[in-house]
Chains A and B, each alone.
Chain A
Amino acid sequence: GQQLNQSPQSMFIQEGEDVSMNCTSSSIFNTWLWYKQDPGEGPVLLIALYKAGELTSNGRLTAQFGITRKDSFLNISASIPSDVGIYFCAGQPLYNTDKLIFGTGTRLQVFP
């Protein structure tokens, strides 16, 4: 099935460091969403972006909707151990907003 290109695949960082991950698509998206998934649980919505160029923050998290509408990035500042998990980007295609297309995921490990 179709998946968005998400990078990096995994990150191993020290507590307190900043993290950046991004997601790209070959087609235009109407909405970009970022989710976090912990083991044994479903994805939890972190940030939703609705307009090209939009920059939105949620605590230590900041995400942007790319100007071309084909990409998005997520930054996490001053990482803490509970940031550990898998982060997924997801997009709603421009002419098919009923479904979400997910990225391949970024696995984040934070060491004290």
Chain B
Amino acid sequence: DAGVTQSPTHLIKTRGQQVTLRCSPKSGHDTVSWYQQALGQGPQFIFQYYEEEERQRGNFPDRFSGHQFPNYSSELNVNALLLGDSALYLCASSLRGLGGNQPQHFGDGTRLSIL
């Protein structure tokens, strides 16, 4: 039973570039959430995708966008990269069940470094 998988594991970009990160949810899960974790801090919610639509968004600019595919996998896109975008980007998957969401399970993240 594969858990949440993310690719790539590490990425180096320069300011102004664009980046795409990928996530495959845990088997049986249909909801994908993305988080940004700066060094020494807890993860910050970016947005959540369910049924190929963005359901909820955290306090992140429009430079951050996403997509969910019919197989439930997801992409996070960041345009016009800034030095402050350097962080660990985590994907979490869950199953939307009756009565509320099930716990979110996380992948090992993509470490993005901006030079």
Q: B56 to nearest A CB, angstroms?
A: 4
User: Interface residue count for A (Cβ, 8 Å)?
Assistant: 28
How many chain B residues sit at the interface, stated as a range, is: 20 to 34
- CB-contact partner of A99 in B56, B103, B108, under 8 A: B56
- Interface-located stretch among B11-19, B36-44, B62-70, B73-81: B36-44
A48 located at the interface, meaning its Cβ lies under 8 Å from any Cβ of chain B in the complex:
yes
Stretch at the interface among A38-46, A62-70, A74-82: A38-46
- Cα distance, A64 to B82, chains bound together (Å): 40
When each residue 81-98 of chain A gets 1 if its CB lies under 8 Å from chain B and 0 otherwise, what string results? 000000010101000111
Chain A residue with Cβ nearest B99: A50
B109 interface residue per 8 A CB criterion: yes
Residues of B within 8 A of A3 (CB): 41-42, 44
Which one of B103, B106, B109 lies within 8 Å of A48 (CB-CB)? B103
Q: A42-B106, A42-B107 are in contact. Are A97 and B101 (CB under 8 A)?
A: yes
| Chain A residues whose C-beta falls within 8 Å of the C-beta of B104 in the assembled complex | 33, 45, 100
Residue of A nearest to B40 (CB): A105
Task: Report whether A43 and B48 are in contact in the complex, using a CB–CB cutoff of 8 Å.
Answer: no
Q: Which residues of B contact A (CB under 8 A)?
A: 4, 33, 35, 40-45, 48, 55-56, 58-59, 90, 92, 100-101, 103-109
State the A residues within 8 Å of B (CB): 1, 3-4, 6, 30-31, 33, 35, 40-45, 48, 88, 90, 92, 96-105
